[in-house]
Amino acid sequence: MLWFSVWAVLVVGTLVGAFFLGRRLWRSGLELGRALAAAAETWGQLADRLAELQALAAENRVDTGPTVLAPRGPLRERRAALREERVARRAARAERHWRTRQSWRAYWG
């Protein structure tokens, strides 16, 4: 009789544990499905935005074709504009680095 009660407790305990495990797996599966649906929606929005950006880039594309016989004036102006942009980016970067070094000095003194 004792063995019957031990085995009954073991079987009932296993069934209860299996129930809770199954319930947790079911809920995790539902959460995974919701997360995948949200990811698919975000992926669709990303694909739409990417198409918009590609169209915008195609509209504003700078001509990089051969310029051997092109007039020199516009080419020089374009090169000067690019140099100015580069100098401005370099100055902004130097300013950011300087601020970062100053903030580090507050900690490392």
Residue 83 lies in a domain: yes
Q: What is the pLDDT of residue 63?
A: 76
Asked if the model's pLDDT at residue 27 lies above 90, the reply is yes
How many structural domains compose the chain? 1
- pLDDT tens column, 71-90: 899 889 989 999 999 999 99
Q: What is the pLDDT of residue 109?
A: 63
**Could you tell me the residue range of the domain that residue 99 belongs to?**
79-109
Residue 61 lies in a domain: no
Q: Give CA separation, 86 vs 52, 83, 96, 97, in Å.
A: 27, 5, 15, 16
